[in-house]
Amino acid sequence: MMVVPTDLKWAPSPALPAGAQIAVIQGPLSEAAPFIVRVKFPANTKVPAHSHSAIEHVTVLSGVMNMGTGDKLDASKTRPFASGGVTIMQPGTRHFAWFAEETVIQIHGVGPWTVTYVDPADDPRKK
């Protein structure tokens, strides 16, 4: 497989905050197989505390991702990751993020990969 940015098909994801879009490069995320996705967050997006069922490898492609760990989004407890920055979250690690500017990240791992919000009221799928 060979992919250039113009090949990507962006779409909203019910598991992400409003305005965020996802492009699946390899997948699906629901199977026990490798996956690669890109996620585009508009400026001023906040992703409340959540965890994943499988390891999450994130590379920032553009913009800045501010990420921290814990049970509640606390901007004072985040670290900025600019283009080229990498984070790796083990399954079940509770973490959160916010984006002051439009940011694109690439996530890869092995599924099945799910998103579970610490506070169910934060889950956009339930709104």
Tokens linked to 43 = 């400026």
Amino acid 127: pLDDT: 82
Amino acid 89: pLDDT: 97
Average pLDDT over residues 31-58: 98
Average pLDDT over residues 97-126: 97
Cross-strand bridge partners of residue 88: 57
Per-residue pLDDT of 62-72, as tens digits, reads 999 999 999 99
| Cβ neighbours of residue 24 closer than 8 Å, sequence gap 6 or more | 9, 35, 36, 37
Amino acid 88: pLDDT: 98
Q: What is the domain partition of the chain in residue ranges?
A: 11-118
Statement: the pTM of the whole predicted model exceeds 0.85: yes
CATH number for the 11-118 domain, one of 2.60.120.10, 2.40.30.30, 3.20.20.10, 3.40.640.10?
Answer: 2.60.120.10
Radius of gyration of the chain (CA): 14
103-110 and 86-89 strand pairing: unpaired
User: Is residue 115 predicted with pLDDT exceeding 90?
Assistant: yes
